Chain A
Amino acid sequence: MSKISIIVTSEKLDKLYPAITLAGTAAISGWDAELFFTFWGLLALKKGYEPSDVSTDYKQFGAKLSEAFASGSMPSWKTILEQGRATGRLKVYACSTTFGLLGFEENALESFVDDVIGAATFLGKAKDADITLFIS
């Protein structure tokens, strides 16, 4: 079985979507997929978070992206995530250090987060991945 492990370090639309799209597509294709959210990526896992901004360098494309989402041509990131997770093959991990740094309360994260883990644990999970990406 193939496996992809992705490290996500930003909560912005343009960083979140490539990661979620690849992980969700992998899971529905029979792959294992792991997402490790660290630093600002962790902000995307906070309860109720909806991405609306793109990275500052590309903010001129923000309106165009909003249009695509409003028209329904792009599935929402939660739709992709939920469909991937429904296969049982897509796992979402939050970085324990960032969790502490940002002062998150114990139940601050969405229920789709499988676990809060440290670097060594993630490395242990990712070491047999066929593809590993760092998206920042």
Chain B
Amino acid sequence: MEADLVVDAKFKSCPGPLLALASVVSKASPNQLIKLLATDPAAPSDVREWASNVGHQVLEVKKIGNVYEIYVKVSS
């Protein structure tokens, strides 16, 4: 999946990854695809809950080694 923007929040603990993601998403354009990199095991669940609250879409969550790649599509 080709992301438009990458947010690197590795080694940040809650609420770091979500703050970093929300900050980038707030400046992103509709339908852009954001890839969040996180090592916090709480990140996938937190991002899903956040996205369902604010209307964005989690398209995919991958785990590569210790790193989660969370793909979020910005709402249109």
| Closest chain B residue, CB of each to CB of A79 | B19
* A62 on interface, CB distance cutoff 8 Å: no
- Is the Cβ of A28 less than 8 Å from the Cβ of B50? yes
Tell me if A136 is interfacial: C-beta within 8 Å of chain B. Answer: no
Asked whether A73 and B53 contact (CB < 8 A) given A28-B18, A80-B19, A83-B23, the answer is no
CB-nearest residue of chain B to A86 = B26
How many residue-residue contacts, CB under 8 A, span A and B? 40
* Contact pick for B13, options A29, A30, A31, A68, CB 8 Å: A68
Residues of chain B at the chain A interface (Cβ within 8 Å): 11-16, 18-19, 22-23, 49-50, 53-54
Tell me which residues across on chain A come within 8 A of B54, comparing CB atoms.
28-30
Please state if A30 and B53 are interface contacts (CB–CB under 8 Å).
yes
Which DSSP category, helix, strand, loop or mixed, fits chain B's interface? helix
Q: Kindly report which residue of chain B lies nearest to residue A27, judged by CB atoms.
A: B22
**A30: which B residues are within 8 A, CB to CB?**
53-54
Asked if B15 contacts A29 (CB within 8 A), the reply is: no
- B12 and A28 contacting across the interface, CB-CB below 8 Å: no
- The reply to whether B13 and A73 contact each other, CB–CB distance below 8 Å, is yes
A100 at the interface (CB under 8 A from B): no
Q: A83-B22, A83-B23 are in contact. Are A31 and B15 (CB under 8 A)?
A: no
Q: Which 4 A-B pairs have the closest CB atoms?
A: A29-B53, A28-B22, A25-B15, A30-B54
Q: Which residues does chain B contribute within 8 Å of A102, judged by CB atoms?
A: none
Contact with B along A57-87 (1 / 0, CB 8 A): 0000000000010011111000110010000
